[in-house]
Structure 1
């Protein structure tokens, strides 16, 4: 990988008895324009506030709970301990479930790509899997847990690299059958049904042929972002700028009650493994009191930092 590429995740690709140690590197760059909120009177940064939508009053973190709406206006409250208990277990594996034809996955399911690189002398098996996928025209459909969240993913050969592209789950993509869309039928019958003439088809094919070319990603840019940055550069050169002084961080609140679920999950997983080794049985749950106290202390620092940071809106 290129110099400066940080490994986001280390684990292994597994299928059958094959085990390929790999690391993940982000393959996407988010470079939209970030607009910070500022008070136009004083140029002070404006942050988020937790507001009760009914009373309009600000409320403290300890009075906030998480709820899931199951009917209009009706909620079920889920505790931090219940959320922790159902978080997916981190396995550090890209577990291939099956191999499928590369053409079977519609583009609408593709969500976020990662480059997969071999580590710990895994180059040979890595190359074997990549070339086998290319030769067979297959891709690997897999499950992977990244940052405590389980994803469906597809492992695809791309030049010298394997790319792990996270997918949307089946129930996250709307089915055409559920949408009231007036679409002509596919294929020759669809063209006839839409009254497309042979002459029109020939002209369309000719136009497509004339406009065809190679895929060159550098040819396409975010025009809005570049236009905004030109305005910024022009104003900087003209000295038309403002100085924003970030306020000092507030002292941690003693009564903050936000639980770092990632830390709790990691701790409970370690405890489960240790308990299973001692008792010879799986530990399904553990008291959350001690972990909760530790998490509260960690959350105090996190809440103080968040309360001082300016709100951002991505264009």
Structure 2
């Protein structure tokens, strides 16, 4: 039987190591809009173990299995249910769920500016980088410098894919970081844990014990250098993979990759005029203008989304005919991010 012909993966148009923008839109505060692109600030460095059929080196997917009968369930027979307690579920249709999704916009809408140290670290979830686009460098720099000087961060709302997130906008070096925040409902209360009472005396700690602990902390004090900490497990696995690959034990697998879309454009703003109008008209007028801008952005985003969906559908159909289905790493990264 002749060997199966395998296709070489397509080369990305992006430079090696360059991140892919998740979306392009604008930061909005008052009447000012800062055109930006949103990029992932983190990456999964661990080893990605894909499932493969070792006889043919074909990717292995996941089956939908009925947990009671053990039989495979076809997609059309699967419904989404929410547990209401006591083993009872309420079934929801895709149209019902779709109506609950937030309106898709391309705006990071700042609602307030709070002290930089005013948000507890436990609320911080996932960071993203923001970079200026479409000649928005000056207004981007203005917002960054104003935040640094005021020692405040912006609290904002942003929709990524179909989920609305609370986030904070933080100046960091030459850039701005958008750090998604957990909702207050996602934070468990301390009351669920048994903790010692606050205060050394109430916790039964003597003055001498506290002094010794402080001295030990002082002796071990140092500046944080992220590069000196390493993931030993990942390094060992990567070394093992290199040795086996060098010994000729690597085997090819057919891959398919999605084509990347062209960047979008946005309008240039008159910065001084917008700042003056924001200060004159006050908070109420600014919010009204922000909502109007959001509606315009929503219409533009809907048109762009329709074009992209059509393109992805055509590309995805062609790719499925050529090779077995396999997770897109870019899509998986966006799913985890959201």
CA distance in 1, matches of 2:183, 2:92: 23
Q: Which deviations, in whole Å up to 9, do the C-alpha atoms of 1:206-260 show, x marking residues without a partner?
A: 2222222222211112111111111222222334x26365599xxxxxxxxxxxx
Q: Is the 8 A contact 2:36 2:131 kept in 1?
A: yes
Is 2:235 aligned against 1:226?
yes
Name the CA shift for 1:100/1:113 in 2 (closer, same or farther; >3 Å): same
Please give the root-mean-square deviation of Cα atoms over the aligned residues, in Å. 3.3
Of the three residues 326, 330, 333, the one matched with 1:309 is 326
CA distance in 2, matches of 1:304, 1:63: 23
Could you tell me which residue of structure 2 aligns to residue 110 of structure 1?
Answer: 124
TM-score normalised by structure 1 residue count: 0.73
Is 2:40 aligned against 1:32?
no
Of the three residues 80, 103, 111, the one matched with 1:66 is 80
CA distance in 1, matches of 2:152, 2:318: 44
CA distance in 2, matches of 1:5, 1:34: 19
Q: Is the 8 A contact 1:48 1:307 kept in 2?
A: no
CA distance in 1, matches of 2:149, 2:253: 58
3-state secondary structure, aligned to 2:185: helix
Give the CA deviation at 1:191: 1.0
Aligned length: 263
Q: Is the 8 A contact 1:45 1:244 kept in 2?
A: no
Could you tell me which residue of structure 2 aligns to residue 121 of structure 1?
Answer: 135
CA distance in 1, matches of 2:240, 2:159: 42
Is 2:92 aligned against 1:86?
no
Name the CA shift for 1:301/1:84 in 2 (closer, same or farther; >3 Å): farther
Give the CA deviation at 1:10: 1.2
Name the CA shift for 1:302/1:134 in 2 (closer, same or farther; >3 Å): farther
3-state secondary structure, aligned to 1:67: strand
3-state secondary structure, aligned to 1:309: coil
Q: Is the 8 A contact 1:100 1:141 kept in 2?
A: yes
3-state secondary structure, aligned to 1:52: coil
Name the CA shift for 1:92/1:270 in 2 (closer, same or farther; >3 Å): closer
Q: Aligned ranges for residues 21-60 of structure 1 at < 5 Å?
A: 21-39=35-53, 45-60=59-74
Q: Aligned ranges for residues 101-180 of structure 1 at < 5 Å?
A: 101-177=115-191, 179=192
CA distance in 1, matches of 2:218, 2:53: 54
3-state secondary structure, aligned to 1:103: coil
3-state secondary structure, aligned to 1:10: strand
Name the CA shift for 1:94/1:243 in 2 (closer, same or farther; >3 Å): same
Q: Is the 8 A contact 1:43 1:242 kept in 2?
A: no
Is 2:194 aligned against 1:182?
yes
TM-score normalised by structure 2 residue count: 0.68
Q: Is the 8 A contact 1:152 1:169 kept in 2?
A: yes
CA distance in 2, matches of 1:129, 1:90: 24
Could you tell me which residue of structure 2 aligns to residue 243 of structure 1?
Answer: 251
Name the CA shift for 1:166/1:138 in 2 (closer, same or farther; >3 Å): same
Is 2:225 aligned against 1:216?
yes
Q: Is the 8 A contact 2:25 2:35 kept in 1?
A: yes
Q: Which deviations, in whole Å up to 9, do the C-alpha atoms of 1:46-94 show, x marking residues without a partner?
A: 3211111111111211111111112232111111111222211112111
Give the CA deviation at 1:121: 2.5
CA distance in 2, matches of 1:307, 1:5: 26
Give the CA deviation at 1:40: 5.5
